[in-house]
Chains A and B, each alone.
Chain A
Amino acid sequence: MAVDVLIVDDSAAIRKILQRVLRQAEVPLGQVYEAGDGLEALEVLKTARVTLILADINMPNMDGLQMLAQIKAHPDWKNVPVVIVSTEGGQSKVMEAVRLGAAGYVRKPFNAEQIKLTLSRLL
């Protein structure tokens, strides 16, 4: 079954790399949506059917943890797995993401194997 993914990161470079990594990981990609921050991501979710979200934490306007909290509080979006892909690697941040409902956590810098391993548990 095709995976419709939303990639949320303020860096266009990281959005591009994550798309490449998903293809390398042989994820059966359907639609790929992109957003530059949490607010944009919530707008995408209003109209698009998404089955996986990869999101950074530190972003302008709305950060990844605020976005995660809103997604998990929304009846239509709460079951979409959200994997955090962030430079923030401190235990408190990881625990906060898990508490808010993150399905996985990958620290930047990352390689394709780390993404593949995390997604293999979800897809």
Chain B
Amino acid sequence: MSAMIDRDEIAKSIRAATDDVFTTMLGLEVRAGEAYVERNKPGVADGVISLVGLAGAWIGTGSVHCSAGFACKMAAHMLGTEPQQGSGRVDEEVLDAVAEISNMIIGNVKNAVEERLGPMGLSIPTVIYGRNFTTRSVGNDEWTVVPFRCGEDLLEVKICLAPSRESHPVRHGFPPPHSIQV
């Protein structure tokens, strides 16, 4: 019989990992909202989204999504630079910082859940900035979503995980199984 994990445990891991990353690396406090389940109905999104793939006996995707302005603020706090009020200019440095933040959050969720689900590999993050884009994870239809508030800013961390239908060796650095429409 394969190992199982419930959504409350995943949500708890998301809360712990996000709080740890924000407190330790950004010096910011986040407040978690109520976790919920989202069916795979792609809605239109704006801002910055970073996607990280997970693969092993269980496969899936994790994502971190926020506004362009908050992405700039997170990068400034992480790098110890001065956040520029209202500039909202998403450059390479900001995308790199958001990618690393998502890598740490999803990676630490992975570390927590793989105690139950077995070893998983983590992909290199893919980060996207734009307007009116949709994302869809192929094959998985339920996401555990935890919204966070940091002052006036919002951040959303999502994970979908499902047992693999095939026996896969743990792979690192693979691209996430995602399609993006702009």
Contacts and interface: CB of A to CB of B under 8 A. Distances in A.
Contacts of B21: 109
A87 B78 contact: no
A29 to B, nearest CB: 17
Nearest to A62: B173
Contacts of A63: 172-173
A31 B149 CA distance: 41
B103 to A, nearest CB: 6
Categorize the interface residue count of chain B.
20 to 34
Interface stretch (B4-12, B39-47, B93-101, B151-159): B93-101
A89 B100 contact: no
A100 B74 CA distance: 35
Contacts of B111: 87-90
B124 interface: yes
A17 B92 CA distance: 16
B41 to A, nearest CB: 30
A111 interface: yes
Interface in A43-80: 57-60, 63
Interface string A98-118: 000000000011110000000
B122 A87 contact: yes
Contacts of B173: 58-60, 63
Contacts of A87: 103-104, 107-108, 111, 122
B79 A109 contact: no
Interface string B61-104: 00000000000000100111000000000001100110110011
Nearest to A109: B24
Contacts of A22: none
B51 to A, nearest CB: 14
A20 B79 CA distance: 9
A11 B103 CA distance: 10
Interface residues of A, number: 22
A13 B71 CA distance: 13
Contact of B79 (A16, A60, A89, A110): A16
A59 B125 CA distance: 10
Contacts of A59: 124, 173
Interface of A: 10-14, 16-17, 20, 57-60, 63, 87-90, 92, 108-111
Nearest first, the 8 closest Cβ-Cβ pairs linking A and B are A87-B107, A109-B24, A11-B100, A89-B111, A109-B25, A13-B97, A109-B21, A108-B104
Given A12-B96, A58-B173, A109-B25, 12 more contacts: A11-B99, A13-B79, A13-B96, A14-B100, A17-B78, A58-B122, A59-B173, A60-B173, A87-B108, A90-B111, A109-B104, A109-B108
Interface of B: 20-21, 24-25, 75, 78-80, 92-93, 96-97, 99-100, 103-104, 107-108, 111, 114, 119, 122, 124, 172-173
